[in-house]
Amino acid sequence: MRLQHLFFLISLLLSLTVISMTAGSVRGAWDDVSKARGSLEAIEHLQVLLVAAEMASRERGPANGVLGDDLPGDPAKRARLKTARDRTDKAFSTLQGALDRASMPQPGASRPVSQALAQLIRARAAIDLTASRPRSARGADEIRGAVSQMFGVIDTLGPAIITLTNEAQTTYPSAANALIAARLAADLREYAGQLGSQFTVALTTRQPLGAAERVAIERLRGRVELLRKQLLERTATNSDRAAVQAAMASMQDHYFASAIPFVEAQTATGLHSGHYDVDTAGFAARYVPDMDAIVSLRDVLINEALVDAQAGLDKIHTKARWMAGGGLATIALLALTLWMIHRRVVRPLGRTAQLISAIAQGRLDLDVPRPKYRDELAEVLEAIAVLRQHSEARLVLEEERQRLVDQLRDQSNTDFLTGLPNRRGFFELAEHDLTTMHRHGHPVTLAIFDLDHFKQINDTHGHTVGDSVLVEVAALCCQHSRSGDVVARYGGEEFLVLMPYCTLEDGALQADRLRRHIEAMRIPLPEGGELHITASFGVEQCLPGDPTIHGVISRADERLYAAKSSGRNRVVSSDTTLQAS
């Protein structure tokens, strides 16, 4: 696999891995954020729910007032009950609206709230029914039943309170203490309300406390004390906030130091005589306001939980933002790294490889690019530039050497005087032709000729004239031979003409044509006048049995000898003699 493709593949896999891992952790972090928002919402819902429960509790006061009122009924008491009921309805409506709009649905809270509302309607109907009779016709059990139906509203809300508290605690363990304390305060408010309600029957009937009320008062007093202790422990050990401590102190002053002694005084009266100094409305007016300190404590504690949770949400949010920012930075860094590697390593490496292989193949016309950066690849490019220079120099040397070799070979194969192939050159060319002709069955004929009385020319006119005669004859033979014929100087004043695709007869005719041209030649002499020359030819056909050209030359040479012997200036072959007429 090419490096470029490998790099692309690895980059793709690496990018996919990093992107999916980053997306996974960022998504996880944002899931934590939305879960934390849901938990914060749960605390807010708990706050609204506790208010709704408190309103339902508060409604019992005016309800008790109406229950203790004789017909036709005090309009002011009825108006107070209506106002209380309107407040409760409004609180439940706010609660249901908040739960319906929740970002994370809480069926564990919504269902009990709906059930509590149904219970509230039933309890109100029971109270209204009881209050519609004359006071003397209202039995104690009937009044007790109506009051306990109102208690049932708060009991029904219990699972919703637990669900919302648990939801908040899982995400914000640090807020757990404040939440538990807030629930304790809410419970305290409820039990304090129930404690007050125990006097409704006795105050309405102006009778001593019944056995059931006495037991309930004892039990509720115990619970109230227990809750006070638990609240003291929780707020003393785990909360040092001034607001909580102030709310605790207020609760101690108002409820435990004021309302509880009042309850104890009414209890003492209820145990002995039943001659109470207050009626139900007066009891409520004296008792209920002191319970507000408990509600304030509850609100301060819920607020503390909300502050803790908001701080926790901020931390989770910040962490998620860092994760997202870090993830994006990681992806950007990876992209930058891959881009840099591709730009500064992979791509230049590919070009460098192309350059080196081009130089190796002898293509030296490519430009070696100037390096953009002072790095290792720049050193490689510089080395390649030097390598190319060396290769160019080597190529020049190589060409020079080849030229010299060719020149040397040409010189060793060429006759320096006439420029014709010499004996060695002729043998090289002729052997090749002979082999080819024999392979394809074509005829080849060889003529050898020798200038007549050449010694005399030298002796009479000098070697320079002799040389120019040889040059002229060579040029004449080349001029009148077919292309493909090989004309060579065999030695001294002897020449060879090898004629491929030529029969013996045609070869003899061609030799005779050359003879005539030589005979017709006029060579001007330096001292004036002209020189006539003639030549004698021996012609032989190459036979398929001839392994080399030497045999044919030898046979043609015999014919030449015959031509010389028989008077010169003629052509002699094995089947004919052609001579000057």
Ligand X SMILES: Nc1nc2c(ncn2[C@@H]2O[C@H](COP(=O)(O)OP(=O)(O)OP(=O)(O)O)[C@@H](O)[C@H]2O)c(=O)[nH]1
Secondary structure class of 74 (helix, strand, coil): coil
Q: Nearest approach, Cβ of 464 to ligand X (angstroms)?
A: 7
Q: How many other CB atoms are there within 10 angstroms of residue 381's CB atom? A: 20
Which residue, judged by CB position, is nearest to ligand X in the bound state? 466
* Minimum distance of ligand X from residue 579's CB (angstroms): 15
Q: How far apart are CA 236 and CA 234, in angstroms?
A: 6
Q: What token pair was written down for 93?
A: 């409506």
List 394, 401, 424, 453, residue binding ligand X (CB under 6 A): 453
Q: Are 95 and 41 in contact (CB under 8 A)?
A: no
Do 164 and 109 contact (CB within 8 A), yes or no? Answer: yes
Tokens of 438: 């024999």
The three-state secondary structure class of 414 is strand
Instruction: Report in angstroms how near the CB of residue 557 gets to ligand X at its nearest.
Output: 12
Site track for ligand X across 358-397, x = CB under 6 A: ----------------------------------------
Smallest gap from Cβ 554 to ligand X, in A, equals: 18
- Strand ranges inside 362-493, DSSP E: 444-451, 486-491
463 binds ligand X (CB under 6 A): yes
Q: If you search the block for the tokens 């950066």, which residue do you land on?
A: 373
Q: How far is the CB of 513 from ligand X (least distance, A)?
A: 21
Under rule CB under 6 A, residue 455 binds ligand X: yes
For strands 535-541 and 570-573, give the pairing: parallel
**Stretch touching ligand X by CB under 6 A, among 342-350, 447-455, 477-485, 496-504:** 447-455
Which H or E element spans position 220?
helix 211-238
Q: Which stretch binds ligand X (CB under 6 A): 3-11, 39-47, 181-189, 446-454?
A: 446-454
User: How many C-beta atoms surround the C-beta of residue 460 within 10 A?
Assistant: 12
Pick 389 or 412: Cβ nearer ligand X = 412
Site for ligand X in 486-505 (CB under 6 A): 492-493
Distance CA 124, CA 60 (A): 10
Name the segment binding ligand X (CB under 6 A); options: 29-37, 187-195, 350-358, 452-460. 452-460
In angstroms, rounded to a whole number, what is the distance separating the alpha carbons of residues 68 and 258?
Answer: 24
**Rounded least distance, CB 447 to ligand X, Å:** 16
Sole window of 139-147, 185-193, 464-472, 505-513 interacting with ligand X (rule: CB under 6 A): 464-472
Of 15-23, 116-124, 437-445, 454-462: span binding ligand X (CB under 6 A): 454-462
> Is there binding between residue 466 and ligand X (CB under 6 A)?
yes
Measured from the CB atom, the residue of 443 and 466 that comes closer to ligand X is 466
Residues 6+ apart with CB under 8 A from 78: 66
Nearer to ligand X, 181 or 451 (CB): 451
Q: Of the candidates 73, 375, 51, 36, which has an alpha carbon nearest to the alpha carbon of residue 175?
A: 36
Asked if residue 569 lies in contact with residue 558, where contact means CB atoms within 8 angstroms, the answer is no
Closer residue to ligand X, CB minimum distance, 492 or 529: 492
Closest separation in Å from C-beta 431 to ligand X: 25
450 contacts ligand X (rule: CB under 6 A)? yes
**452 is an interface residue for ligand X by CB under 6 A:** yes
Q: Is the dihedral of CA 42, 43, 48, 52 positive or negative?
A: positive
Residue 219: burial class (beta carbons within 10 Å; 0-12, 13-18, 19+)? middle
Say which amino acid occupies 271. L
Inter-residue contact 190 to 53 (CB < 8 Å): yes
Any contact of residue 532 with ligand X (CB under 6 A)?
no
Q: Which is nearer to ligand X, 244 or 457 (CB)?
A: 457
* 567 forms part of the interface with ligand X (CB under 6 A): no
CA distance 540 to 82: 151
Number of residues this chain uses to bind ligand X (CB under 6 A): 16
**Of residues 403-422, those binding ligand X (CB under 6 A):** 417
* Least Å from the CB of residue 564 to ligand X: 6
Binding site for ligand X (CB under 6 A): 417, 450-456, 458, 463, 466-467, 470, 492-493, 564
